[in-house]
C-alpha cells in the first residue's frame, strides 16, 4: 500500500512527525515522540484487527472435515498459515520504511493484505525482498529510503520508536542502534528469542545468501551465529516453499543448546524443522560411555568411510553355481548366470537393496530354468511318438476350440506367458526359496557388524591398513557400549547396508515423518558449532543432504573436539573439497567490550591467527577477580553467585568450571547451571562466574575452552582464581 509520509528533518531516536518549532527543543522532541508513538499505535491496531479477522476465518475453515487427499493437503497449508498468524501476536509490527518517493511500508513478523481479494499490502513480511532495505540500507547506501523506524512494542501496545534518517547526515555503524542495544541490555531468560527486528547488515547478507552449496560462516563469540543460522532457516522456508516438503535439519552441539533455541523457529512460524545432535540422529541408538580424546580423534577420521565400504563389500556373496529345489526337483543356475545377476543387482546399491534386487532376478531365473527343463522333458517324451502325439494334440486342440478351457502346456507342453508369470509368483512367495536367499545372502545388523569390526584386530588390520598397530590396539580394546564417535560409524554402516524393508513414514507433518526415517533427505541442513564436527560426522551431514544445501556456523577458535584441524579448510576438506563458500561475522553484539578486551592473549595462546570480533557495546562493568584457596571454593562460589543473582535479578547467572570442579560446585549450587566450557558453548547469561580459569586452560585444547568461558556473559564477568594445589 502506498502511504504518504510526513518527513521533516530528524535525528536518530526522535520521531520527526508534527514538529513544534515554536516550543523549546526538549518539549518539541517529546511532542514529536508522542505523536510518532500514537501514529504507530494506530497502525498496530489496524494490523492486529486484520490479523485477528484472518485467524478467525482460518479457524472456521479448519473446522471443516477434510474429505480427500487434495482437501487434506489444503488443510495442512491452512493450518500452517493459522499457526503462523497465531504466533505473530507478539511483535506483529516492528519496523517502518519511508522511501524518498513518499511510499511507506511497515515491516513485521508476517505479511498481511488489506481487505478484499485485490487488497494492497498492509504489512510486509520480514523475509520478503521488499523488507530487505530495513536491514541493509545505510546513509551511504540508502537504497531509495529516506528513513528507517524501529517500533518497540509490549504486547499490543507501542512503547517507543527509534528513527534513523538515511539522507547522508548520519553514518551510524549499526542498523537501529537504539533498538539493538535496548534488546541486548534486556535480562536473559534462559531461552533464545527472535531477532528479526534488530538484525544487522552483515547478518542479513548471510541470511539471504543463495542456498546452492555449503556456506561456512565464521563468527567469534557474540556475533549472532546462531541467530543468523535460525533466521536463515525461516528465510529459506519462506522463499523456497518446496524446501518445506523435505524439511530442514538443525544440528546443535548438545541437548541443552537445542532446548535453549527451541522457541525461535516456532516463534517465526516454521514447523518443518527437525532438531538433533550428531549423537541423536540414529533412532534407537544411545551413547553409553565417554572415551579418551585420542580414541575419539582416531575414529573421527575420514579413512573409516573407505574402511566400512570395503568391509561391507567383503560380505557380499561370491558368484557360484546355485542348486535349488522346486516341486521335488533340483534345478541348477550356472555360475556365469549368477555372476551376471549379482553384478546387475549390486550396481552401487546398499547391501540389503542389492539382495532384494538379486532375489527378484533369482525368481525369474529359476522360473525360466523350470520352464526350459519342462519343455526339454516334453521334447524327449515326444521322440518316437510323433504320430500318436499328433493325434492327441489334434484332439486336445479340437476340445479347446469347443470349450475354451485348455491352454499352453496342456496342448503343446510349452508354458504360456500367463503360466510362466504364475510360476514366478509362486516362486517369489515360496518360503523355501526365501530361506535359501537368506542363508546365501543373510540379513545383517549394523550394530553387530560394527562391534565385530572394532573388537577384532585382524579385521581392523585388513580393512583399515592406515591405522598403526598401536591405534588398532587402542580401538579394539573398547568396551561394548557405544561412544559418541561410534554414532557416525554406525550411521555410515547403516547407509551401506540399507533398510531391509523401508516403509514410508506416516504422520501429518513433514518433520514428524523425517524424524522417524534414518534415510530422510532434507531440503537444507544447518550445523551450529560446526567446528566441533569430525570428518565422519560431516559425512553424516552429507548423507542427509546430498544436494549440499548446507549452512554451517561456528568459530574455529572455539574448537574443543579431539580432531586436529585448526582452520575451516582443514575441517571440511574431506567432505566438500574446495567446493564451499566462506562468510564471516565480524562484530560482537553480545559480549561487552570490557570482557572482549581480555580475549586477545587467550586466542594467541590457543594458536589462533584470527583477531577477536570487534565489540560494539559497553556494559560499564569491569571484570573482577577474587583469589581463594581450594578449601574456600564452595563458600566463595555460593557468595559470588548470590551477589550476581541480586545484581541481575530477573536475569540469569551461569557458572563455568573445569570438569574436575563441577561435581563439587553442583553440590552447593542447585539453582544455577554449573557447566564445563564445552557444555557452555553457544549459551549466554547476564552474568558469568568463571571458576579456576587456569584449570580450564590446562584441559585438552584448554585455551580454546577458556576463550569460550570468558565470552558467555552479556553484562558482568567474575572470576574465582585458585591458589595452586598443595
pLDDT digits (tens, 9 = 90+) for 543-590: 999 999 999 999 998 888 888 888 999 999 999 999 999 999 998 888
pLDDT score recorded for residue 17: 41
pLDDT score recorded for residue 656: 98
pLDDT score recorded for residue 468: 97
Say how far apart CA 129 and CA 200 lie, in whole Å. Answer: 16
Q: pLDDT tens digits, residue range 366-383?
A: 998 888 887 777 666 655
- Residue 198 annotated in ligand binding: no
Say how far apart CA 217 and CA 225 lie, in whole Å. Answer: 8
- Residue 171 annotated in ligand binding: no
- Residue 176 annotated in ligand binding: no
pLDDT score recorded for residue 9: 34
Intervals of the chain under pLDDT 50 = 1-20, 170-171, 388-389, 392, 395-412
pLDDT score recorded for residue 507: 57
Say how far apart CA 674 and CA 665 lie, in whole Å. Answer: 7
Burial (0-12, 13-18, 19+ Cβ within 10 Å), 101: exposed
- Residue 461 annotated in ligand binding: no
- Residue 226 annotated in ligand binding: yes
- Residue 652 annotated in ligand binding: no
Tell me the three cell numbers of residue 153. Answer: 512494542
- Residue 219 annotated in ligand binding: yes
pLDDT score recorded for residue 153: 87
Say how far apart CA 83 and CA 632 lie, in whole Å. Answer: 53
CA distances from 437 to 109, 267, 632 (A): 58, 52, 70
Tell me the three cell numbers of residue 562. Answer: 579431539
Residue whose entry in the numeric block shows the C-alpha cell 486342440: 397
Which residues have a Cβ under 8 Å from the Cβ of 516 and sit 6 or more positions away?
283, 505, 507
Burial (0-12, 13-18, 19+ Cβ within 10 Å), 671: exposed
Q: At what angle do helices 484-497 and 535-544 cross, to 10 degrees?
A: 40
- Residue 222 annotated in ligand binding: yes
Cβ burial 42-62 (10 Å sphere, 16+ → b, else e): ebbebbbebbeebbeebeeee
pTM for this entry: 0.76
Question: CATH 3.40.50.300 spans which residues of the chain?
Answer: 593-607+614-722
pLDDT score recorded for residue 491: 96
pLDDT score recorded for residue 395: 42
pLDDT score recorded for residue 26: 60
The CATH code belonging to domain 593-607+614-722 is 3.40.50.300
Amino acid at each position: 500500500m502506498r502511504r504518504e509520509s510526513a518527513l521533516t528533518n530528524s535525528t536518530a531516536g526522535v520521531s520527526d512527525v508534527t514538529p513544534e518549532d515554536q516550543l523549546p527543543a526538549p518539549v518539541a522532541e517529546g511532542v514529536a515522540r508522542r505523536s510518532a508513538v500514537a501514529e504507530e499505535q494506530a497502525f498496530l491496531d489496524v494490523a492486529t484487527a486484520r490479523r485477528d479477522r484472518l485467524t478467525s476465518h482460518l479457524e472456521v475453515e479448519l473446522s471443516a472435515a477434510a474429505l480427500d487427499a487434495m482437501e487434506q493437503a489444503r488443510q495442512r497449508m491452512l493450518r500452517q498459515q493459522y499457526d503462523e498468524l497465531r504466533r505473530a501476536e507478539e511483535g506483529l509490527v516492528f519496523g517502518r520504511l519511508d522511501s524518498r518517493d513518499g511510499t511507506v511500508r511497515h515491516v513485521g513478523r508476517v505479511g498481511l493484505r488489506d481487505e478484499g481479494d485485490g487488497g494492497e499490502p498492509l504489512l510486509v513480511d520480514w523475509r520478503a525482498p521488499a523488507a530487505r532495505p530495513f536491514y541493509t540500507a545505510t546513509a551511504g547506501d540508502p537504497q531509495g529510503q529516506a528513513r528507517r523506524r524501529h517500533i518497540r512494542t509490549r504486547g499490543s501496545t507501542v512503547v517507543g520508536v527509534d528513527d534513523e534518517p538515511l539522507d547522508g547526515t548520519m553514518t551510524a555503524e549499526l542498523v537501529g542502534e537504539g533498538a539493538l542495544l535496548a534488546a541486548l541490555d534486556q535480562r536473559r531468560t534462559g531461552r533464545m528469542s527472535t531477532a528479526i527486528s534488530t538484525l544487522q547488515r552483515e547478518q542479513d547478507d548471510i541470511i539471504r545468501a543463495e542456498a546452492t552449496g555449503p556456506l561456512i560462516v565464521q563468527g567469534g563469540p557474540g556475533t549472532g551465529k546462531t541467530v543468523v543460522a535460525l533466521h536463515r532457516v525461516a528465510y529459506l522456508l519462506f522463499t523456497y516453499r518446496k524446501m518445506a516438503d523435505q524439511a530442514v535439519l538443525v544440528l546443535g552441539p548438545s541437548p541443552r543448546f537445542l532446548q535453549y533455541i527451541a522457541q525461535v523457529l516456532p516463534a517465526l512460524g516454521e514447523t518443518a524443522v527437525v532438531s538433533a545432535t550428531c549423537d541423536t540422529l540414529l533412532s534407537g541408538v544411545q551413547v553409553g560411555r565417554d572415551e579418551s580424546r585420542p580414541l575419539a580423534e582416531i575414529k573421527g577420521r575420514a579413512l573409516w568411510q573407505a574402511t566400512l565400504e570395503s568391509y561391507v563389500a567383503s560380505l557380499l556373496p561370491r558368484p557360484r553355481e546355485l542348486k535349488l529345489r522346486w516341486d521335488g526337483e533340483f534345478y541348477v543356475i550356472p555360475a556365469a548366470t549368477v555372476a551376471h545377476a549379482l553384478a546387475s543387482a549390486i550396481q552401487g546399491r546398499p547391501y540389503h537393496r542389492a539382495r532384494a534386487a538379486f532375489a527378484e532376478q533369482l525368481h525369474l531365473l529359476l522360473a525360466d530354468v523350470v520352464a526350459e527343463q519342462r519343455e526339454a522333458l516334453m521334447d524327449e517324451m515326444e521322440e518316437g511318438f510323433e504320430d500318436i502325439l499328433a493325434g492327441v494334440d489334434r484332439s486336445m486342440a479340437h476340445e479347446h476350440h469347443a470349450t475354451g478351457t485348455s491352454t499352453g502346456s496342456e496342448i503343446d507342453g510349452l508354458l504360456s506367458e500367463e503360466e510362466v508369470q504364475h510360476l514366478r509368483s509362486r516362486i517369489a512367495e515360496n518360503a523355501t526359496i526365501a530361506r535359501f536367499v537368506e542363508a546365501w545372502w543373510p540379513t545383517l545388523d549394523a550394530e553387530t557388524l560394527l562391534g565385530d569390526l572394532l573388537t577384532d584386530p585382524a579385521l581392523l588390520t585388513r580393512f583399515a591398513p592406515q591405522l598403526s598397530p598401536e591405534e588398532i590396539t587402542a580401538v579394539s580394546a573398547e568396551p561394548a557400549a557405544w561412544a559418541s564417535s561410534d554414532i557416525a560409524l554406525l550411521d555410515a554402516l547403516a547407509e551401506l547396508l540399507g533398510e531391509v524393508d523401508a516403509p514410508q513414514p506416516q504422520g501429518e507433518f513433514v518433520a514428524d515423518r523425517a524424524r522417524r526415517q534414518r534415510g530422510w533427505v532434507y531440503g537444507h541442513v544447518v550445523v551450529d558449532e560446526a567446528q566441533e564436527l569430525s570428518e565422519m560426522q560431516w559425512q553424516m551431514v552429507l548423507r542427509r543432504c546430498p544436494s549440499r544445501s548446507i549452512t554451517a556456523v561456528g568459530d574455529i577458535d572455539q574448537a574443543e573436539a579431539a580432531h586436529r584441524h585448526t582452520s575451516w579448510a582443514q575441517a571440511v576438506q574431506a567432505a566438500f573439497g574446495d567446493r564451499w563458500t566462506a562468510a564471516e561475522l565480524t562484530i560482537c553484539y553480545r559480549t561487552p567490550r570490557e570482557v572482549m578486551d581480555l580475549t586477545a592473549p587467550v586466542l594467541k595462546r590457543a594458536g589462533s591467527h584470527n583477531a577477536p570480533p570487534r565489540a560494539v557495546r559497553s556494559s560499564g562493568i569491569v571484570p573482577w577477580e577474587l583469589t581463594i584457596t581450594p578449601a574456600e571454593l564452595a563458600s566463595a562460589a555460593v557468595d559470588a553467585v548470590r551477589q550476581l543473582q541480586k545484581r541481575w535479578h530477573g536475569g540469569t547467572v551461569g557458572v563455568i568450571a573445569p570438569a574436575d570442579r563441577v561435581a563439587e560446585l553442583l553440590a552447593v549450587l542447585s539453582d544455577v547451571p554449573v557447566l564445563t566450557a564445552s557444555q557452555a558453548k553457544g549459551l549466554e547469561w547476564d552474568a558469568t562466574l568463571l571458576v579456576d580459569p587456569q584449570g580450564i586452560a590446562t584441559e585438552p585444547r584448554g585455551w580454546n575452552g577458556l576463550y569460550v568461558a570468558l565470552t558467555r556473559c552479556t553484562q558482568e564477568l567474575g572470576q574465582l582464581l585458585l591458589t595452586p594445589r598443595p
